[in-house]
Chain A
Amino acid sequence: MLTIEELTTDYGPIRAVDHVSLEVPEGSVTAVLGANGAGKTSLLRTITGLVRPTSGRVAVEGEEITRWAVEEIVRFGIAHVPEGRGVIAELTVEENLRLGGLWRGREAMPLREVYELFPRLEERAGQPASRLSGGERQMLSIGRALVGRPRALLLDEPSLGLAPVLVAQIMSLVRRLADTLGLAVLLVEQNARSALSIANRGIVLNLGRVVAEQDPDKLIADAQLLHAYLGF
């Protein structure tokens, strides 16, 4: 579904993403792990066009989208839930959700379905998003991405700053979304154990480079690797 080949991104003299290749099939979760500054966020920002790559390519179902404008990449079905939630604080919860589906027109997911996934959001529909708690903001960001019925979902540190119970809930939801909607999920996380618990594939980044790519079970068992790159 989502194919990344030899993707490289530079910020001036600093190489943030270094020849990264990976594949996210439909209905699967690929976890990208790594410490702060490993290039995880840069990788996602390059995929959605917020940052321009130096070289390499990004393709969705064979169609190359590498140098498209952000809006057009999103309209091609790539939803990006940015780090720090990215809810628009001045808009209400419902306005945030509607905004996520406008480009889809009539084919957008009815808000009713989003509220079934996240009943909390329905209770808060009319309130400004600035009043939401961290967990609710995360739900809103993910829900808002789903309204546009994307094919691929890029999640940037969804567990950041959330209580363990909430992290578990969000992770099992992500798994469910991949299974039921057939989404290709690229999950960027520092919380390696949570992410690997639901992933089909695990990738470890260090200084922008892929240093390991394995089944989640093997990664979790590789104490040396986890210690070296993730600080376990």
Chain B
Amino acid sequence: MTKFIDLTLSGISSGAIYAAVALALVLIWRSTRIVNFAQGAMLMFTTFIASAVIDSGGSYVLGFAVALASGFVLGAIVERVVIRPVENAPPLNAVILTLGLYTLIVAIAGMIWGNTPRSFPAAFSLRGYTVGGTTFLFTPNDTFIVLVVIVVAAALAFLFRATSLGLRMRGAAFAPEVARLLGVRVGRMLTLGWALAALVGSLAGLLVAPSVFVGPNNFDPILIIGFVAAVLGGLDSPPGAVIGGLVLGLALSYVSGYEGSALVPLAALVILIIVLMIRPTGLFAATRERRV
């Protein structure tokens, strides 16, 4: 029973991280119909920046803030410099570009910080809570992870649902030409969408870094699982991404605990295949497939 509780709680914690990665992918997919394969490299880079800030004597909070800010800026730059020029080209062009960007960022990170993974501090204690003499695997840091992701998801929901900026962003994402005819500066909205997505991605990088270490390729598995979570949630729906992340976190945690961690990547892909076979639009698709 303790094992089941342990696995459930750690599933929620890792699920929260997958949810953040999935959110980053979904925000970009919704607004530009591009799967950003560079997302994993971008969040790796910003986590390295946080690591550099902390190593040079900055506090954890400072490193955290700098990473989020640099994620925001990096996202905006990528949209302006890399994606904007192929905006009107077939979507595949942009997807290939993000793959190229992935390679570029990984190479640059290796040149600056080397290819040996380094450790990264956790925000809070990694010692599990003890309740009535039983020590659980769930730690104060896990609590922090779950709360931060909840806060970010709620903030995004508020932005999109309750503010006029969010209304502009949704209009620009759903129907760019009509939005322009309504005076929405669509280009700015797309830049902002990428910036926000990269910020959420950076957050995921910071949260997962203590357990995967910081190295140029250490975040690749997170991106793959985050992608599965995004597809699970419908790729189009932010709430779907969060639920997809949690469902996948729990499922993979049980697989890892009861069957062995070697099966986790396989399980993620099996889940992806099953979802695509049974509900190709995802479990929580906000809209049915749209044809323009």
Contact = CB atoms under 8 A, between A and B. Distances in A.
B175 interface: yes
A91 B186 contact: no
A99 B189 CA distance: 13
Among A70, A79, A80, the one with the most B-chain Cβ atoms within 10 Å of its Cβ is A70
Interface residues of B, number: 19
Interface stretch (B53-61, B74-82, B88-96, B164-172): B164-172
Interface string B169-182: 01100110111111
B154 to A, nearest CB: 20
B185 A71 contact: yes
Contacts of A95: 167, 170
B177 A102 contact: no
B184 interface: yes
Contacts of A87: 178
A34 B178 CA distance: 24
A103 B287 CA distance: 27
A86 B180 contact: no
Nearest to A85: B178
B168 A99 contact: yes
Among B174, B180, B181, B184, the one with the most A-chain Cβ atoms within 10 Å of its Cβ is B181
B180 A91 contact: no
B182 A91 contact: no
A33 interface: no
A99 B173 CA distance: 13
B164 A102 contact: yes
Contacts of B183: 71, 74-75, 100, 102-104, 148
B181 A86 contact: yes
A74 B174 contact: no
Contacts of B180: 50, 70-71, 74
Contact of A88 (B164, B175, B286): B175
**Minimum-distance CB pairs A-B, first 3:** A103-B183, A74-B183, A70-B180
Given A82-B181, A102-B164, A103-B184, 10 more contacts: A70-B180, A71-B180, A74-B180, A75-B183, A79-B181, A80-B181, A88-B178, A91-B167, A98-B164, A99-B168
12 contacts: A70-B181, A71-B183, A74-B181, A79-B181, A80-B181, A90-B287, A91-B167, A95-B167, A100-B183, A102-B164, A102-B184, A144-B182
Interface of A: 48, 50, 70-71, 74-75, 79-80, 82, 86-91, 95, 98-100, 102-104, 144, 148
